């Protein structure tokens, strides 16, 4: 929830518009715990104001990425993910990479 902060630094009133997020995912399952996916995310909004004066910090970011997961043994899987940006206004220009070791206690 975004509400105004009536006690912002120096007694000013600070507000922020909502940041809207949209996601799309497509995946393919090769077998148990062995899959890939392609992902896209779009974020927009978030402009702030101080005492009613609107800032130049509207966010608009289109990001994309891919994820792959492979089984390693009983209950274990290894997941690799990568993400980047296609367009960005006011930040959002960064790349991510992750490697995750997962263990499932259920449904083995």
108, 75 contact by CB (below 8 A) = yes
d(CA 31, CA 33): 6
- Is residue 33 very low, low, confident or very high in pLDDT (cuts 50, 70, 90)? confident
Using the structure block, give the residue that is written with the tokens 């995750």. 100
Regarding predicted confidence, which is higher, 70 or 106? Answer: 70
pLDDT over 70 at 108, yes or no: no
> 59: which residues sit within 8 A by CB, 6+ positions away?
19, 43, 44, 45, 46, 47, 89, 90, 91, 92
pLDDT at 73: 86
pLDDT at 74: 86
Summarize pLDDT for 46-86 with one digit per residue, the tens: 999 999 999 989 999 999 999 999 999 888 999 999 999 99
């Amino acid at each position: 929830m975004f509400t105004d902060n009536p006690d912002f630094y120096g007694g000013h009133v600070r507000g922020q518009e909502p940041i809207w997020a949209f996601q799309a995912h497509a995946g393919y399952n090769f077998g148990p715990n062995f899959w890939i996916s392609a992902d896209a995310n779009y974020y927009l909004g978030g402009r702030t104001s101080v005492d009613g004066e609107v800032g130049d910090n509207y966010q608009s970011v289109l990001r994309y990425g891919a994820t792959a997961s492979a089984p390693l043994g009983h209950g274990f899987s290894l997941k690799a993910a990568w993400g980047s940006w296609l367009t960005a206004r006011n930040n959002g220009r960064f790349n991510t990479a992750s490697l995750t070791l997962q263990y499932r206690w259920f449904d083995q």
